[in-house]
Amino acid sequence: MQQNHFFSFHLGRLQLILLSPIVERRKSKEGEAKKANTMEAPPTVRRSRSTAVSQPGPTLAFQVHLETTSSDPVSPSSDDIAWLKSQLARNSIQEPSSSTSTWHSLRKGINPRTRAQQLEDLGRFKGISHYEGDEGSNHTALPCPGELLVEEHHSNYGEPWAGGRDVFEFLASTVELKPSDDVLEIGCGTLRVGLHFIRYLEVARFHCLERDELSLMAALRYELPSQGLLHKRPLIVRGDDMVFDRFGSDVFYDLIYASAVFLHIPDTLVWVGLERLSTKLKPEKGRIFISHNIKFCSRLGGEECTKRLTNLGLEYVEKHTHDSLLFSHYEIWYEFQKLRA
């Protein structure tokens, strides 16, 4: 295979390829999808299920149904997608137009407001019907700031909000997550991804360490109540120091993940985090997943990185990509596990 990588090295038995041009990755992804379709065994350390296989033609097939006590499947099936298409056809919903004016011409009798306008309206009118004067604050258990009500925080991180579901589906299906499993997210932000885990997992099984006050405010004061998830009692802790004692000394995780976090923080802090996290993984099943890139590792060089991981009792498993259901996009994830004896 012709390669055009900026950087490539061996990590243990596995070749880890970093900083390859996107086009190269897309080609290899198509290759992977073809391989999956022809049932060839993927070159992996352990068997892992691909959650989302791009197929040529109009139908996306997402077919992961985990064995779970919950009746809800993790990912849509091809029947679900076919049903969705039938509903679009039944209601004569045409293909979306790329022209803004045609797009807006679809709207009949609806007057859209931007978030800024909604926020202004909230400040001025407080909604259509509202209590006045002394009564004004008596009817809401925990009034939510207007900025959160208009969901400004859904645009805080650049990624589409809906991508949180893709991440959940990929991670949950890859590790074959059960509702009784324990999950820790590093940097859960406004719970774009975390909400889906919280909904799926049993009470108090989702933990998160997050440093940003505004994100925590959005997560706690808006997302959990508005999604009806307060009863799930997630343990969300404020901190930026990779200290996990606050989650309890006797908790061990089936899955620890960092979505779009480690690429933003200093390498030294990532290594401190990994050292502590390696002791919090459940033996055998426990996995750490890191998104986007692992430059904290590649910057050291392959051999040195492997040595440091080994010293921490960790090993690199494999690199994954997964598709989005809603937009043409895929994300890269790196998987680590406890070193096997």
Ligand X SMILES: C[S@@+](CC[C@H](N)C(=O)[O-])C[C@H]1O[C@@H](n2cnc3c(N)ncnc32)[C@H](O)[C@@H]1O
Give the residues lining the site for ligand X (CB under 6 A). Answer: 157, 164, 186-189, 192-193, 209-212, 215, 240, 259-261, 264-265, 269
CB of residue 183 to ligand X, shortest distance in Å: 13
Residue nearer to ligand X on the CB measure, 161 or 252: 161
CB of residue 197 to ligand X, shortest distance in Å: 11
Residues in contact with 135: Cβ distance below 8 Å, sequence separation at least 6, in sequence order? none
Helical ranges in the chain per DSSP H: 22-37, 78-90, 100-105, 115-125, 146-149, 163-174, 194-200, 213-218, 224-226, 267-278, 295-298, 302-311
Residue nearer to ligand X on the CB measure, 63 or 215: 215
CB of residue 262 to ligand X, shortest distance in Å: 9
Residue nearer to ligand X on the CB measure, 120 or 275: 275
Residue nearer to ligand X on the CB measure, 259 or 337: 259
Residue nearer to ligand X on the CB measure, 260 or 305: 260
Q: Give the span between the Cα atoms of 124 and 258, in whole angstroms.
A: 40
CB of residue 259 to ligand X, shortest distance in Å: 4
Q: What angle do CA 335, 285, 29 make, to 5 degrees?
A: 30
Amino acid at 103: W
CB atoms within 10 A of CB 151: 16
CB of residue 159 to ligand X, shortest distance in Å: 6
**Chain centroid to CA 190: how far?**
11
CB of residue 290 to ligand X, shortest distance in Å: 11
Residue nearer to ligand X on the CB measure, 85 or 238: 238
CB 244 within 8 A of CB 272: no
| DSSP structural state of residue 253 | B
Helix (H, G, I), strand (E, B) or coil at 53: strand
